[in-house]
Amino acid sequence: MKSLEKVILLCQHSYPRHNFEGHILPVVKASLELCEKFRADPKIVEPAAYLHDIGRVLVPFVRAHEVTGYHISRAALTLTGYDPSDRKRICEAVLAHRGNEGKHKPKNIEEEIISNADAISQFEQWPYLLAIHYSSHGKNLASTKRWVAWKLKHSYDTKLTLPGSKERIEEQYKRALMELNANNIPISFVVIGRNHPQELNRCLSSIKAQCYSPSEVLYIDNSDNDESVNIARWHGACAYQPEKRGANHSRNYGARKSSGNIIVFIDGNDELEKNAAAEICQAVQSGTKIGALRWATNGSTLKDWLTQSILNMATYKAWPACFMTREAYEMSGGFDESGRIYVNDVAELAEKIKDTYPASRINAKIYGNMDGFKKHGYVKRIIEWLK
Ligand SMILES: [Fe+2]
């Protein structure tokens, strides 16, 4: 049997099974990926990844587990037949695995890989961290969640030092923080059909990709186009085809069918940035009752860009999408279904309640459709919107 196989066998028998599978193996996997990326020495990286926490499990009462791990690794590597120079490098990688938070800082790429991979696995397997801390620290979920959030932030700041490490876990980190910090305010997305199946597909994909998952997505169809309804159902949305048509009727219909504490109204031809729901949730947690998103200045022409920039400055008049608490929606009496033509129905509703609930605009962007401007003329539309 080769030396590495003996080390793996030894680790399999030393770590509790949940720890081996929930932490050690993910660290090994991430280490080997980094090893290839940075052309490091796998002979050092792989055994060090297996052994890095051995001190913690075999001598649990000593705090500096990287130091006990160093000594245990030295004995283990001698017994399994590693040559002295590799043994020294592997043990030093174990000693430096706590990165900048430990006394022994990584001095070469192999040592840095172990400390980065150790941190990466925390982001990729954070529910494991949660479970293990919860069961070993008095089973207090609230304090466990705070601890995991702190641990992740600490690792983010001190251990993810290699280029690309932070980017790699960014998504998981955001998702973890939302889950750990959120009071879980349920958000309902009400998507109004615009009879553009392809754009609807992009719109619903952007809702699906949100870091903070909405509790429900409702699609209100505004046409006889079954393709849109099928697309909506394929994305897991609840699709409705009310007999009465019209954007405002669809919005009210969707609001009545929805159950979330926050309702987000979005047109089926718009796309959202992936942090939109998270920012909406945060805004509502800090007291906002009604608000809008910001236009992404992504226009392909100077005219688009200028229009989007001007509209971003007008809080009430130009709302490419909006959100409100159920309370604010109910107080407003809903969108006007009388058939009167408004330049912007959403702004009209916001005007009704602005004295009680001043509106705000969050930073998340919406990739709105500029077709209306192209069709009716930019200047004319902007003047109408700002009137
Ligand atoms: Fe570890």
Q: Which long-range contacts (CB under 8 A, 24 or more apart) does 32-39 make?
A: 34/113, 34/116, 34/117, 34/162, 34/165, 35/110, 35/113, 37/164, 38/109, 38/113, 38/162
φ, ψ of residue 87 in degrees (nearest 5):
-55, -45
The predicted-structure confidence for 108-141, as pLDDT tens digits, reads as follows: 999 999 999 999 999 999 999 999 888 887 777 7
Mean pLDDT of the chain: 86
Task: Give pLDDT, residue 385.
Answer: 61
The predicted-structure confidence for 266-322, as pLDDT tens digits, reads as follows: 989 889 988 888 889 888 888 899 988 887 877 677 877 877 777 777 655 566 678
Domain boundary among 181, 206, 227: 181
Residues 371 and 278 occupy one common structural domain:
yes
Residues 175 and 217 occupy one common structural domain:
no
Q: The domain that contains 34 carries what CATH number? A: 1.10.3210.10
Gap from CA of 152 to ligand 1 centroid (Å): 13
Q: Specify whether the CB–CB gap between 77 and 34 falls below 8 A.
A: no
Residues 160 and 294 occupy one common structural domain:
no
Domain boundary among 181, 202, 219: 181
Name the residue range of residue 141's domain: 3-181
Beta strands in 216-272 (DSSP E): 216-220, 238-240, 262-267, 271-272
Gap from CA of 85 to ligand 1 centroid (Å): 24
Number of domains in the chain: 2
Distance between CA atoms of residues 170 and 36, nearest Å: 21
Residues 174 and 244 occupy one common structural domain:
no
Gap from CA of 98 to ligand 1 centroid (Å): 8
Residues with beta carbon < 5 A to ion ligand 1? 53, 118
Residues 61 and 127 occupy one common structural domain:
yes
Distance between CA atoms of residues 88 and 162, nearest Å: 23
Length of the chain: 387
Domain boundary among 181, 200, 216: 181
Gap from CA of 20 to ligand 1 centroid (Å): 10
Gap from CA of 23 to ligand 1 centroid (Å): 7
Q: The domain that contains 321 carries what CATH number? A: 3.90.550.10
Q: What share of the chain in percent tops pLDDT 90?
A: 45
- pLDDT tens across the length of the chain (387 residues): 688 999 999 999 999 999 999 999 999 999 999 999 999 999 999 999 999 999 998 888 777 899 999 999 999 999 999 999 999 999 999 999 998 877 889 999 999 999 999 999 999 999 999 998 888 877 777 678 878 888 898 899 889 999 999 999 998 998 898 888 766 688 999 999 877 888 899 999 999 887 777 888 999 998 777 789 999 998 889 999 998 888 889 999 999 999 999 999 998 988 998 888 888 988 888 889 998 888 787 767 787 787 777 777 765 556 667 899 999 999 999 988 887 766 667 777 877 888 888 888 888 888 877 666 666 666 776 666 666
Residues 163 and 56 occupy one common structural domain:
yes
Gap from CA of 1 to ligand 1 centroid (Å): 26
Place of tokens 């809080």: 315
Residues 103 and 141 occupy one common structural domain:
yes
Residues 250 and 193 occupy one common structural domain:
yes
